[in-house]
Protein backbone atom coordinates (compact mmCIF):
# COMPACT_ATOMS: atom_id res chain seq x y z
CA UNK A 1 0.00 0.00 0.00
CA UNK A 2 1.45 3.37 -1.03
CA UNK A 3 1.82 5.98 1.70
CA UNK A 4 1.75 9.73 1.29
CA UNK A 5 5.12 11.47 0.75
CA UNK A 6 4.96 13.03 4.20
CA UNK A 7 3.72 9.90 5.94
CA UNK A 8 0.39 9.67 7.70
CA UNK A 9 -2.60 8.80 5.54
CA UNK A 10 -2.21 6.47 2.57
CA UNK A 11 -1.75 8.54 -0.58
CA UNK A 12 -5.25 7.91 -1.93
CA UNK A 13 -6.92 9.01 1.31
CA UNK A 14 -4.58 12.00 1.59
CA UNK A 15 -5.47 13.03 -1.98
CA UNK A 16 -9.18 12.81 -1.24
CA UNK A 17 -8.89 15.00 1.86
CA UNK A 18 -6.39 17.48 0.36
CA UNK A 19 -8.51 18.24 -2.72
CA UNK A 20 -11.71 19.15 -0.89
CA UNK A 21 -13.33 22.54 -1.35
CA UNK A 22 -13.97 24.09 2.05
CA UNK A 23 -15.91 27.18 2.99
CA UNK A 24 -13.79 29.94 4.50
CA UNK A 25 -14.26 30.35 8.23
CA UNK A 26 -15.28 27.84 10.87
CA UNK A 27 -19.02 27.69 10.25
CA UNK A 28 -20.77 24.38 10.70
CA UNK A 29 -22.07 22.89 7.44
CA UNK A 30 -25.84 23.23 7.15
CA UNK A 31 -28.05 20.21 6.53
CA UNK A 32 -31.11 22.10 5.34
CA UNK A 33 -34.72 22.16 6.52
CA UNK A 34 -35.57 18.46 6.55
CA UNK A 35 -36.50 15.81 9.10
CA UNK A 36 -34.88 12.37 9.28
CA UNK A 37 -37.23 9.63 8.09
CA UNK A 38 -36.97 5.98 7.11
CA UNK A 39 -39.17 4.38 4.48
CA UNK A 40 -39.12 2.67 1.11
CA UNK A 41 -40.60 3.89 -2.16
CA UNK A 42 -40.95 1.56 -5.14
CA UNK A 43 -40.06 2.95 -8.54
CA UNK A 44 -42.02 2.40 -11.76
CA UNK A 45 -40.56 -0.11 -14.19
CA UNK A 46 -38.16 1.62 -16.58
CA UNK A 47 -38.82 1.50 -20.32
CA UNK A 48 -35.84 -0.11 -22.04
CA UNK A 49 -36.90 -0.04 -25.69
CA UNK A 50 -37.50 2.63 -28.31
CA UNK A 51 -36.51 6.27 -28.08
CA UNK A 52 -34.16 8.34 -30.27
CA UNK A 53 -31.01 6.86 -31.78
CA UNK A 54 -27.71 6.97 -29.91
CA UNK A 55 -25.89 9.07 -32.49
CA UNK A 56 -28.63 11.70 -32.47
CA UNK A 57 -28.55 11.86 -28.67
CA UNK A 58 -24.76 12.22 -28.56
CA UNK A 59 -24.95 15.07 -31.05
CA UNK A 60 -27.69 16.87 -29.10
CA UNK A 61 -26.15 16.54 -25.66
CA UNK A 62 -25.41 19.88 -23.99
CA UNK A 63 -25.17 21.09 -20.40
CA UNK A 64 -28.47 22.76 -19.53
CA UNK A 65 -28.51 24.97 -16.43
CA UNK A 66 -31.75 26.95 -16.81
CA UNK A 67 -34.73 25.03 -15.45
CA UNK A 68 -38.41 25.95 -15.23
CA UNK A 69 -38.84 24.47 -11.75
CA UNK A 70 -41.61 22.19 -13.02
CA UNK A 71 -41.73 18.63 -11.70
CA UNK A 72 -40.61 15.55 -13.56
CA UNK A 73 -42.57 12.31 -13.24
CA UNK A 74 -41.64 9.24 -11.26
CA UNK A 75 -41.53 7.35 -14.55
CA UNK A 76 -38.91 9.77 -15.85
CA UNK A 77 -36.91 9.43 -12.63
CA UNK A 78 -37.01 5.64 -12.87
CA UNK A 79 -35.80 5.85 -16.46
CA UNK A 80 -32.86 8.05 -15.47
CA UNK A 81 -31.89 5.77 -12.62
CA UNK A 82 -32.03 2.68 -14.83
CA UNK A 83 -29.82 4.38 -17.44
CA UNK A 84 -27.18 5.21 -14.84
CA UNK A 85 -26.93 2.12 -12.64
CA UNK A 86 -29.87 -0.10 -13.50
CA UNK A 87 -29.50 -3.88 -13.60
CA UNK A 88 -29.21 -4.92 -17.25
CA UNK A 89 -28.43 -8.61 -16.83
CA UNK A 90 -28.18 -11.22 -14.07
CA UNK A 91 -25.91 -14.21 -14.52
CA UNK A 92 -24.43 -16.72 -12.05
CA UNK A 93 -25.18 -14.56 -9.06
CA UNK A 94 -23.81 -11.39 -10.66
CA UNK A 95 -25.93 -8.33 -11.44
CA UNK A 96 -24.52 -6.32 -14.34
CA UNK A 97 -25.29 -2.60 -14.48
CA UNK A 98 -25.86 0.00 -17.18
CA UNK A 99 -22.55 1.75 -16.41
CA UNK A 100 -19.19 -0.05 -16.21
CA UNK A 101 -17.27 -0.40 -12.97
CA UNK A 102 -13.66 -1.45 -12.51
CA UNK A 103 -13.63 -5.03 -11.32
CA UNK A 104 -17.41 -4.88 -10.87
CA UNK A 105 -16.74 -3.40 -7.41
CA UNK A 106 -19.48 -0.75 -7.77
CA UNK A 107 -18.09 1.75 -5.23
CA UNK A 108 -20.51 4.54 -6.28
CA UNK A 109 -23.83 4.98 -4.48
CA UNK A 110 -26.61 7.33 -5.59
CA UNK A 111 -28.53 9.75 -3.41
CA UNK A 112 -31.28 12.01 -4.71
CA UNK A 113 -32.14 15.47 -3.44
CA UNK A 114 -35.72 15.58 -4.66
CA UNK A 115 -37.08 19.08 -5.20
CA UNK A 116 -39.93 18.54 -7.66
CA UNK A 117 -40.92 14.97 -8.59
CA UNK A 118 -44.65 14.39 -8.99
CA UNK A 119 -46.07 12.30 -6.15
CA UNK A 120 -42.77 12.05 -4.30
CA UNK A 121 -42.25 14.13 -1.13
CA UNK A 122 -39.33 16.55 -1.28
CA UNK A 123 -36.26 15.40 0.58
CA UNK A 124 -33.30 13.05 0.46
CA UNK A 125 -33.42 9.49 -0.85
CA UNK A 126 -30.87 6.71 -1.19
CA UNK A 127 -31.14 4.44 -4.22
CA UNK A 128 -31.20 0.66 -3.74
CA UNK A 129 -29.97 -0.42 -7.17
CA UNK A 130 -30.67 -4.13 -6.82
CA UNK A 131 -34.23 -3.68 -5.57
CA UNK A 132 -34.96 -0.62 -7.78
CA UNK A 133 -36.39 1.22 -4.78
CA UNK A 134 -35.76 4.50 -3.00
CA UNK A 135 -35.03 4.62 0.71
CA UNK A 136 -36.24 7.89 2.23
CA UNK A 137 -33.59 9.42 4.48
CA UNK A 138 -34.85 12.94 5.13
CA UNK A 139 -38.11 14.66 4.24
CA UNK A 140 -38.35 18.39 3.63
CA UNK A 141 -37.01 21.26 1.56
CA UNK A 142 -33.31 20.93 0.75
CA UNK A 143 -33.21 23.28 -2.24
CA UNK A 144 -31.30 26.12 -0.61
CA UNK A 145 -28.98 23.78 1.27
CA UNK A 146 -27.90 21.85 -1.81
CA UNK A 147 -27.52 25.04 -3.87
CA UNK A 148 -25.35 26.62 -1.16
CA UNK A 149 -23.24 23.48 -0.94
CA UNK A 150 -22.82 23.57 -4.74
CA UNK A 151 -20.97 26.89 -4.44
CA UNK A 152 -24.25 28.83 -4.67
CA UNK A 153 -25.15 27.46 -8.09
CA UNK A 154 -28.87 28.26 -8.29
CA UNK A 155 -29.57 25.50 -10.79
CA UNK A 156 -29.36 22.98 -7.94
CA UNK A 157 -32.33 24.69 -6.26
CA UNK A 158 -34.31 25.09 -9.50
CA UNK A 159 -33.69 21.50 -10.60
CA UNK A 160 -36.38 18.86 -10.25
CA UNK A 161 -33.83 16.50 -8.69
CA UNK A 162 -30.12 16.59 -7.91
CA UNK A 163 -28.24 13.32 -8.29
CA UNK A 164 -25.53 13.05 -5.63
CA UNK A 165 -22.97 10.31 -6.06
CA UNK A 166 -20.83 9.08 -3.19
CA UNK A 167 -17.83 6.78 -3.19
CA UNK A 168 -17.26 3.96 -0.72
CA UNK A 169 -13.55 3.23 -1.27
CA UNK A 170 -13.60 0.06 0.85
CA UNK A 171 -15.49 -1.71 -1.93
CA UNK A 172 -12.59 -1.22 -4.36
CA UNK A 173 -9.50 -1.03 -2.12
CA UNK A 174 -9.21 -4.74 -1.32
CA UNK A 175 -8.66 -5.36 -5.03
CA UNK A 176 -6.93 -2.18 -6.22
CA UNK A 177 -5.43 -0.64 -3.05
CA UNK A 178 -4.64 3.07 -3.44
CA UNK A 179 -5.15 2.96 -7.22
CA UNK A 180 -8.81 2.40 -6.42
CA UNK A 181 -9.24 6.18 -6.25
CA UNK A 182 -8.47 6.47 -9.97
CA UNK A 183 -11.12 3.91 -10.79
CA UNK A 184 -13.68 5.44 -8.45
CA UNK A 185 -13.64 8.71 -10.37
CA UNK A 186 -13.73 6.89 -13.70
CA UNK A 187 -16.79 4.98 -12.49
CA UNK A 188 -18.49 8.22 -11.46
CA UNK A 189 -17.74 9.72 -14.87
CA UNK A 190 -19.31 6.75 -16.67
CA UNK A 191 -22.46 7.10 -14.58
CA UNK A 192 -22.62 10.87 -15.11
CA UNK A 193 -22.34 10.56 -18.89
CA UNK A 194 -25.10 7.97 -18.98
CA UNK A 195 -27.31 10.38 -17.05
CA UNK A 196 -26.51 13.19 -19.51
CA UNK A 197 -27.40 11.03 -22.49
CA UNK A 198 -30.57 9.64 -20.93
CA UNK A 199 -31.76 13.13 -19.97
CA UNK A 200 -31.09 14.37 -23.51
CA UNK A 201 -33.03 11.47 -25.00
CA UNK A 202 -35.98 12.31 -22.73
CA UNK A 203 -35.96 16.04 -23.48
CA UNK A 204 -34.77 16.95 -19.99
CA UNK A 205 -31.96 19.31 -19.00
CA UNK A 206 -28.87 18.06 -17.23
CA UNK A 207 -25.75 19.72 -15.90
CA UNK A 208 -22.94 17.98 -14.02
CA UNK A 209 -21.51 19.70 -10.94
CA UNK A 210 -17.93 19.06 -9.89
CA UNK A 211 -17.50 22.24 -7.81
CA UNK A 212 -19.07 21.78 -4.39
CA UNK A 213 -18.18 22.09 -0.73
CA UNK A 214 -17.43 18.51 0.22
CA UNK A 215 -18.21 18.73 3.92
CA UNK A 216 -21.52 20.49 3.30
CA UNK A 217 -22.70 17.98 0.71
CA UNK A 218 -21.60 15.14 2.99
CA UNK A 219 -23.59 16.71 5.84
CA UNK A 220 -26.73 16.92 3.69
CA UNK A 221 -26.33 13.28 2.66
CA UNK A 222 -25.51 12.15 6.20
CA UNK A 223 -22.19 10.51 5.28
CA UNK A 224 -18.89 10.87 7.13
CA UNK A 225 -16.69 12.12 4.27
CA UNK A 226 -14.11 9.38 4.82
CA UNK A 227 -15.64 5.91 4.72
CA UNK A 228 -18.21 7.37 2.33
CA UNK A 229 -17.81 10.71 0.60
CA UNK A 230 -19.50 12.79 -2.09
CA UNK A 231 -17.62 12.81 -5.40
CA UNK A 232 -20.00 14.19 -8.06
CA UNK A 233 -23.38 15.90 -8.47
CA UNK A 234 -25.72 16.45 -11.40
CA UNK A 235 -28.82 18.63 -11.68
CA UNK A 236 -31.81 17.41 -13.68
CA UNK A 237 -34.83 19.49 -14.60
CA UNK A 238 -37.29 20.65 -17.21
CA UNK A 239 -35.28 23.03 -19.43
CA UNK A 240 -36.48 26.44 -20.46
CA UNK A 241 -37.08 26.70 -24.18
CB-side neighbour CA atoms (13 Å) of 239: 14
**Separation between Cα atoms, residue 77 and residue 86, nearest integer Å:** 12
pLDDT band (50, 70, 90) for residue 3:
low
Domain 36-237 has CATH 3.90.1150.10: no
Q: Using a pLDDT cut of 90, give the percent of the chain over it.
A: 77
Q: What is the mean pLDDT of the chain?
A: 92
- Digit-coded pLDDT (tens) for 149-184: 999 999 999 999 999 999 999 999 999 999 999 999
- Digit-coded pLDDT (tens) for 14-64: 988 899 888 886 555 566 667 777 789 898 999 888 899 999 999 999 999
N- to C-terminal Cα distance for the chain?
52
Long-range contacts of 46-54 (CB under 8 A, 24+ apart): 46/78, 46/79, 46/81, 46/82, 46/83, 46/86, 46/132, 47/75, 47/79, 48/82, 51/201, 51/202, 52/201, 54/197
Q: Specify the pLDDT at position 31.
A: 65
Amino acid sequence: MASSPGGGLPIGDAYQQATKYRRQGSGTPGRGDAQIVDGEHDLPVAVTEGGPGLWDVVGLRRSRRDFTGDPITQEQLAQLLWATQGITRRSRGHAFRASPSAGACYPIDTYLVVNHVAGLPAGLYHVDVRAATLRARREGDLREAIAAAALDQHMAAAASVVFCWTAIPARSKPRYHERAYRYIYLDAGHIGQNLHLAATAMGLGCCAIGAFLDDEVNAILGVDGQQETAVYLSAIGVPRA
